[in-house]
Amino acid sequence: MTKTYRFTCIVCPLGCSIEVRIEDGKVIGVTGHTCPRGQEWAVEEATNPRRIVMSVVRVKNGALPTVSVKTAEPVPKELIPELMKFLAELKLEAPVEIGEVVAEWNGIKIVATRGA
């Protein structure tokens, strides 16, 4: 059975309409891209979508009650709900510096994007 994915490319300002066809877990065709980067992005998006996750984490004894954080690398989309539960339960102790690795989840570093 062939599955077709349609995307508007976000790699550059052209916004190409790309179509990726997959059969039995293998990419059998990619159309609509104008550059190799767009093709690579669309294939990755169809076969293994990943996202940088941004959120906030509670902070004890800080000037503000939360600090913004993000993952240091993209996370598989299907794992994002699990990561969000982890972040919801995480509590940091002030001070927290911008760029500080405040936690690690499944080998992925969680980095502060604001100080507290």
Mind listing the pLDDT tens digit for each residue in 62-116?
889 999 999 999 999 999 999 999 999 999 999 999 999 999 999 999 999 999 8
Q: Which fold has domain 2-47?
A: N-terminal domain of TfIIb (2.20.25)
Residue spans per domain, the chain: 2-47, 54-112
pLDDT at 89: 97
54-112 domain in CATH 2.30.140.10?
A: no
Mind listing the pLDDT tens digit for each residue in 18-64?
999 999 989 999 999 999 999 999 999 999 999 999 999 999 998 89
β-strand pairing of 91-93 with 75-76: unpaired
Q: What dihedral do alpha carbons 20, 26, 29, 32 form, nearest 10°?
A: 30
